[in-house]
Every structure is written in structure tokens, then in C-alpha cells.
Amino acid sequence: MGIFTKISAIIPVYNVEKWVKDCLESVANQTKQFYEIILVNDGSTDQSAGICRNFAREYKNITYLEQHNKGLGAARNKALDNMKPCDYFLFLDSDDYLALDTVEKLQKELSNEELDGIYYNGNSFMDSEYVNSNDNVIADYMRFPELTTKSMSGEAFFYDAYPGGWDASVCFTLYKYSLIDRKKIRFHEGVLHEDHRFSIMFICEAEKVKYFPEAFYNRRYRNNSIMTNKLTDKNIIDFCSEQIAIIEYLRDRKYQYDNSARGLPRYLKDMAIHALCEAKRAVVTEDAIEKMNTWIKQFLSELLLLFDDLYTDNYFTNGYFSSDFALLDRIKKSELFELNEIRTFLKGYLVKVREFYKNEFKMLNSDEIYFYGIGKHSEGVLRIFEKVNEHNLVIKGFIQTKKDREAFLELPVISLDEFEEIGGKVFISSMKYRDEMRKAILELGIKIDVIDFYDSIKNDVFSCYGSIEWLL
């Protein structure tokens, strides 16, 4: 393969007349051409279809398809079922765009070894008219800088990457066509969160993937998109149904669990608590509450049954999972069909989390505090810090062992060498890389005050910090 590798792009299109031209120009003007660009008009009612047809007439490698409005999953499936056989392909949403050297750099990477997939990064930006009325988090799609670039199986990559180096979106992965075609991996149609099952099936089937630390993808945050609309009961129901489908897939595949604290079991457990927390934020009618809670309970029941099958010992005594599974089991066994009762139950469970953070932050009696680490974990801890900080402490910025950016979450990023000159207290905000961070600090050979509350914490309390911070 290599420079002659055939790479295609799949782009579903629905009512994006303001942005689709940017998207199509980014794929049509690549420094190395896509083999095929498949556009699927999903029943647009604006001028999107005309814009797509014009591009298809101008560029021979663009294929235009259309269908009645069936949703994102159906549009992607139509492309998968009708595209020309190729070597690899990627997904792109029609209001986003790619870096112009995406194909060239991916082809060059594939000249070194044949892979089932490549995971890459993305940047996010706000559309000029975007109003963040729902307090959406503008996500950073940069994976951990420390994530290995060695090739490995899909499951091994997931074990290594989750949670901070993993994103369920299919838009940050290059897929081997023959694998997806042979295994018949497709999207569920007519649902939201359709990426989750597709992504998990791929990592389970892929024998050789790798991480390529380039930000090819540019995601636009805009009004009235799937990413920014308010949560409803459909979000929660579809989310639960997709997680149940993942459990069924793992059960059919006779998935074997190595009893570590990472990987797919932890992911599913985190998704269960995430569903409960998102239900708290959802805009739900009274008529929809019982149906939504029924789906949540079914998800919890299927999850706990899966763990009965996977574990050789009692998962309620497993140090990493014990508190979370005790919570999920009690909710499943209860008759708590009213959302407000579930919320109250969850809040009681989280009291110890809030108090623990308060006590730990009280120890930071310095005005200049730096978080060591960037990523989703650091972002979650920072949000909790902002909510429970009662001591007028100030976060001055973030530290990276090897600095690769100037800012994170609008705060400055400095290297460890720069911190040596500035001084202050260091708060280790990464669970996964804490040992490497402590070693790097020791190698500086100077005295630095370090707060590492993972020395005294039971990990199960914080394993789903990204969701529980909504409840604090």
C-alpha cells in the first residue's frame, strides 16, 4: 500500500447549506486525492442537495446519493452499501472539515505497515453564530499526548486509551474497508448515539490499529445540531438501547474479560452511571419518564448479568468497581421509577465524593497551583474544583511533561522545565499517568510540593468523574 492506498470519505448531508461548501472543499482539494467521496443527501429541505450536485459534476471522484430522511446511521449505511471497494475510508460530518493534507499523511503512515485502522485527533471550534444556550462543553478531541503510537489490537488500544484517549465518535478513525465489509459492521438506524456500537464492534474485531497524533478533523459547534441540542428522553432511551446492543454483541461473541480495571467492562459501567446523570439534565415530559426509566433499568439489568458471566470472583468486592456496582445493583432492585427519586439516591452516594474533594483541596494552601496533565480527566477534576473550592485557591495553568500546546481550557500550558523556574504547587490530575508524572518530578532534582490524592483514594469512587461532576 502506501502512496497508492485508496482512501475514501463518507459524508452524510442534511440541511447544512451554510457549511457544506467548507466541508466539500476540504475533501475535494486534498494534497493527495480521495479515491472516492460519497455524499448521501438524507432528505435535505434546504439548498444542500444543489450544492452537493454541483460538486459531484465538477469532481469525478465524488459520488452523489440521496434518500428520504432516515437519519445519520441510515445515511452512513447507504454509503457503506454502495461505495466502491477501497483500501480504507473515513467518516466526515457535513458541517465539519478536514485538514488538506489528511489523505497524504495517512497514506504515508500506511506505507510503513498495513493496519486495520488508525485513530487520530481533532480540533473543535465555534461557529460565528453559535450561542451556547445549553451550557454544552466545547470538547477537546486531542487524545493523551502520552498515548503510545505503537500498533496493537483494537482491544489493547482501548485498554490503553480509555477514558481520556478514547472517543466513541467514528469521525476520528480511519477504517479498513475489507474488515468492515467482511464483518458486516453497520449502524443501527433511526437512533441517536449510533456511533457507540459501531466503534466497539470495530475495536473488538480489529487485530492491528495504531494512534497517529495528528489533528486532521475540525469539528464545528453550531446551533441546532445533534451535538448542541437539548437532551430529551429520546437521547436517554437511544443511548441505553445502544449500550444494551453492545452487551448483546459481547455476549454473542463470548467476550472474555481479563479482570483488570480497564477496558470494555469499565466503559459499560461508566456508561450506566452516565445515563443516570444525563437523565437528570434531560428535558422530559411526564409521559416519557416511565418509558425512559424502564430503558435505564433494562440497561442496568443487562450490565449486571454480563458481569455475572465475566467475573470469576464477586465484582462487588473488586476494589475498583465495588461502590459503583453496589449503587447500580440497588437501583436495579429498587422500585425507583421516578427520576427525582433516582437523582436523590445518586446525590446521597456522591456526598462522600464532594467531601473528599473539599478536604483534598483544603490541603492546597498555595496561591499558585498547577494541574499536571491535560485531557478529559483534568477537565473533569477542574470542573469539580471550581464547584467545591471554598479556599480562594487559583489554578494558574496546566503542566505537560513535553509541552505541545500553549493553552488548555483557556488556561496557559507550561512544560515541566518551565515550572521548575516558576515554582508553585503541583496537583496531579491524571490517574493513569500518575506514576510517570511523579517520576518526572523526582528527576528534576528539586523540591516541589506535590498533591497526589490517588495515594489515599479508592478508585471506584471517581472512576466515572466525567459524569458525576454534573451532580455535584
Task: Write out pLDDT tens, residues 88-128.
Answer: 999 999 999 999 999 999 999 999 899 999 999 988 877 65
What is the C-alpha to C-alpha distance for residues 193 and 187, in angstroms, rounded to an integer?
10
Residues 269, 178, single domain; the answer is no
- Quote the pLDDT of residue 422: 78
Residue 140 pLDDT greater than 70, yes or no: no
Q: What CATH number did the domain enclosing 395 receive? A: 3.40.50.720
Residues 406, 322, single domain; the answer is no
Residues 42, 165, single domain; the answer is yes
Residue 276 pLDDT greater than 80, yes or no: no
Residue 211 pLDDT greater than 70, yes or no: yes
| Per-residue model confidence as pLDDT tens digits over 316-352 | 444 445 555 566 666 666 554 455 555 565 565 556 6
Which percentage of the chain shows pLDDT scores above 90?
A: 37
Greater model confidence, 161 or 57: 57
Q: For residue 406, give the amino acid letter.
A: E
Which percentage of the chain shows pLDDT scores above 70?
A: 69
Q: Is residue 349 in a domain?
A: no
Q: Is residue 344 in a domain?
A: no
Per the prediction, the chain carries an average pLDDT of 79
Residues 296, 319, single domain; the answer is yes
Residues 399, 452, single domain; the answer is yes
Residues 258, 162, single domain; the answer is no
Local structure of 203: helix, strand or coil: helix
What is the C-alpha to C-alpha distance for residues 223 and 28, in angstroms, rounded to an integer?
26
Domain of 97, in residue numbers: 7-221
Q: Is residue 117 in a domain?
A: yes
> 195-205 and 233-252 helices cross at what angle (nearest 10)?
20
- Quote the pLDDT of residue 162: 79
Q: Is the peptide bond before 145 cis (omega within 30 degrees of 0)?
A: no
Residues 369, 406, single domain; the answer is yes
- Quote the pLDDT of residue 117: 97
Q: What is the mean pLDDT of residues 243-254?
A: 88
What is the C-alpha to C-alpha distance for residues 188 and 198, in angstroms, rounded to an integer?
8
Residues 24, 149, single domain; the answer is yes
Residue 22, Cβ neighbours under 10 Å: how many?
A: 15
Question: Into how many domains does the chain fold?
Answer: 3
Residues 277, 385, single domain; the answer is no
Residues 217, 243, single domain; the answer is no
Greater model confidence, 458 or 367: 367
Q: Is residue 469 in a domain?
A: no
Residues 15, 129, single domain; the answer is yes
Q: 283 - beta bridge partners?
A: 232
Q: Is residue 348 in a domain?
A: no
Residues 24, 57, single domain; the answer is yes
